[in-house]
Amino acid sequence: MAAFKETKFPADAPAAQKALGWVDDRFPLTKLWNDQWGKYYAPKNFNFWYIFGSLAMLVLVLQIVTGIFLTMHYKPDGTLNLSGVPVAFASVEYIMREVPWGWLVRYMHSTGASAFFIIVYLHMTRGLMYGSYRKPRELIWLFGFAIFLCLMAEAFFGYLLPWGQMSYWGAQVIVNLFGAIPLIGPDLSLWIRGDYVVSDATLNRFFAFHVIAIPLVLLGLVAAHLIALHEVGSSNPDGIEVKENLGADGHPVDSIPSHPYYTVHDLFGVSVFLTIFSAVVFFAPEMGGYFLEYNNFLPGDSMKTPPHIAPTWYFTAFYSVLRATTSDFLWVLMAGIVGYTAFLWLKSKLSGMVKIIVSVIALLMVAGMMPGMLDAKFWGVVFFGGSVVILAFLPWLDHSPVKSIRYRPDWHKYVYAGLAIAFVTLGYLGTQPPSPVGTIIAQIATLYYFSFFLLMPWWSAMGTFKKVPDRVVFHAH
């Protein structure tokens, strides 16, 4: 074993330098900083779309810190106190009214949850536009998708904790969806709740998942996401691999050190974000009932059902897919499945065995949708889950010869715009009570959403593509 050799500094060296050297001799602090940021070279043509990854890290830290302070006063107890109010709900009221600055911590946490999803959706939009999921970044995308699933689980488990009316009944509705799964559904719902109805047992296990289990998994996935990113390098708006053009110093000629260049870039973005975030926290924390529903300021009551039960806004796009899957709509879906299967046989270059497997799955789905078989509620849950899971396959669905939307045919932009409109439409309809017209619009948006991804192997390769430059296109700010 090599002998330990401590770094020597001049006697007049600053105390901070000596302290850092002492740490570096025992822990690679400076090396970690340089590898992960200080001397990490990133493409020089980043635009504002690349700020959302850093903002996501900021909000993650914000949620952890505010969550720690909230758990100091919150009690995960669904039983009634002497005033006839659930203890969990009363503890939230205590935080809001009695704990010094408790209202601020609570509003920061609730607003942070919505801010997190806004940032993540914009981060995913950037990846979609610039092909950041393409080779060699497939694993980065998969880690990011797993982070998205964890965020959905974290938000779902945390949604019940205030034990307000919408929290209670929202959890009841979402958990009951699992009961639509044949054979194992009822037992699965019972296992998730820990009781036959949403009760104190449900609250305790949701609290454990929200505070301990999911955050641990989430932190591990974030670390894996960043390690994978820094291993293959960041993408850029031009979709050019900057590592293919190295300078004499061994670094890409079209890249710059993250520090200080993108440190300043990110600090400016953080300043803008905190300004907007503070405005929401101090002046509109409920955001018209979208961030904090008005019914959630009433204690949860199993004997009083709210007139309209819907999940928080960041789930409503996928929730609309579930509601759009009616018994009449199943006939449209069956026709779509049959047509898509025939299209695969005629136009796809997949192997015969893969086509046979897809055909068998399609046949089973069509048979299951026939009257008297599996009901529309089950298929709603299937397409609800499918609308999320399909995002994971994006790296293998996109067959475009270029990565960035900048060099794709102009009509591709309208296809992407249609996806954005369909997603926002589904999200809005999910917040509204069901109506015949709204259901039809949601069904049209659902068909477009799935068609975008399922037909992507063909439409993404169609059209006249612009020539991608050899070097990144950079315009000074």
Show binding-site residues for a ubiquinone: 230
Measure the CA–CA gap between 360 and 337, rounded to whole angstroms. 11
Neighbours of 139 (CB within 10 A): 17
476, containing H or E segment: none
Neighbours of 70 (CB within 10 A): 22
16, containing H or E segment: helix 15-24
Sign, CA dihedral 259-264-265-266, equals positive
Contact 47, 237 (CB under 8 A): yes
Binding positions? 109, 123, 210, 225, 230
* Residue that the structure tokens 């440190």 belong to: 263
Radius of gyration of the chain (CA): 25
At 390, the amino acid letter reads: I
Residue 472's closest CA among 146, 303, 206, 242? 242
Token output for 224: 């894996």
Scanning 348-401, the segments in alpha helix (DSSP H) are 352-369, 376-389, 394-397
Give me the count of residues in the chain: 477
Residue 315's closest CA among 155, 123, 125, 150? 155
Please report, in angstroms and rounded to a whole number, the separation of the first and last CA atoms in the chain: 52
Binding positions for heme b? 109, 123, 210, 225
Measure the CA–CA gap between 116 and 103, rounded to whole angstroms. 19
Residue 217's closest CA among 122, 174, 161, 153? 153
* Residue that the structure tokens 């894996």 belong to: 224
Residue 161's closest CA among 71, 60, 61, 63? 71
